Amino acid sequence: MLSFPQINPNIVEIGPFKLRWYGLMYVLGFLSSYLLIRRQRRARNLGLVGPRLQDLIFYLAIGLIVGARLGYILFYQFSDYLTYVHHPLEIIAIWHGGMSFHGGFIGAVLAGVLFCRRHQLPFWQTADVVIVTAPIGLGLGRLGNFINGELFGRPSSVPWAMVFPTGGPEPRHPSQLYEVALEGVLLFVVLWLLKDRVERPGTMVCLFLGGYGVLRFLAEFFRQPDPHIGLLWGFLSMGQILCLTMIITAIILWMLLPRN
């Protein structure tokens, strides 16, 4: 069994102001996307440089954060909907936790559509350029979860199991690190190597949807289900249900994409 590293979730505390590692991971994720998009030939061909690229990152950041919060409420806390109606400020209380990748992805897609319409850019080609950078942000986000000691794994006796501060006395899988390796590193390497080898618009989006869906589905077998939801039908988590939806969407989208 390994010891859980005691890292203060707050990098800096000045009065009520707190700079948290988790928030910093979001910033680093968007910065990484900006730098990696700049390096792509297709991005330059689309004119995604300078202020236009900065606008795109801004659109995606707003869409992702809003979508992630609303998605969490919809997918994981819908039973508390009336609470948010009576206390609407709780909707934006992201410092209390509660961000959904699937909701964030939907929000980023909608923001991307709006950006492409405003700048008269082809959506699928633009999305292909952006999506290959997404795993970096995902991996950093899971690293932030690990530092916070949240979203930990199921009880385990593997030699690298850890006792998390809020996970009880049992050693558990460090499932956040599994997701860093799978959804972050592995998925990024695959997409980056394939980005210049495919020409059909929308292909990279489909590969991301399907690849993330499969890898996250597998990682969920090691992750502790949300306590207020548990396992649906006795064996699938809510995350796995959403991942199956992503995989099916990727297959349908691939069949519907234009060939030219």
pLDDT of residue 167: 87
pLDDT of residue 12: 84
d(Cα 238, Cα 254) in Å, to the nearest integer? 25
pLDDT, tens digit, 9 for 90 and up, residues 113-166: 999 999 999 999 999 999 999 999 999 999 999 998 988 999 999 999 999 988
Residue 216: what are its φ and ψ, rounded to 5°?
-70, -35
Burial 69-103, CB ≥16 within 10 A → b, else e: bbbbbebbbeeeeeebeeeeeeeeebeeebbbbbb
Low-confidence ranges of the chain (pLDDT < 70): 75-98, 228, 260
Name the burial class of residue 234, with classes exposed (0-12), middle (13-18) and buried (19+) by CB atoms within 10 angstroms of its CB: exposed
pLDDT of residue 138: 93
pLDDT of residue 173: 97
pLDDT of residue 11: 85
Q: Mapping DSSP to helix (H, G, I), strand (E, B) and coil, where does residue 226 land?
A: coil
Residue 241: what are its φ and ψ, rounded to 5°?
-60, -45
Question: Could you tell me if 101 and 138 are in contact, meaning their C-beta atoms sit under 8 angstroms apart?
Answer: yes
d(Cα 248, Cα 251) in Å, to the nearest integer? 5
Overall pTM > 0.85: yes
pLDDT, tens digit, 9 for 90 and up, residues 91-119: 555 555 567 788 889 999 999 999 999 99
pLDDT of residue 228: 67
Question: Could you tell me if 184 and 136 are in contact, meaning their C-beta atoms sit under 8 angstroms apart?
Answer: yes
Q: What one-letter code names the amino acid at 47?
A: G
User: Of 221, 50, 71, 195, which is closest to residue 133 (Cα–Cα)?
Assistant: 195
pLDDT of residue 86: 45
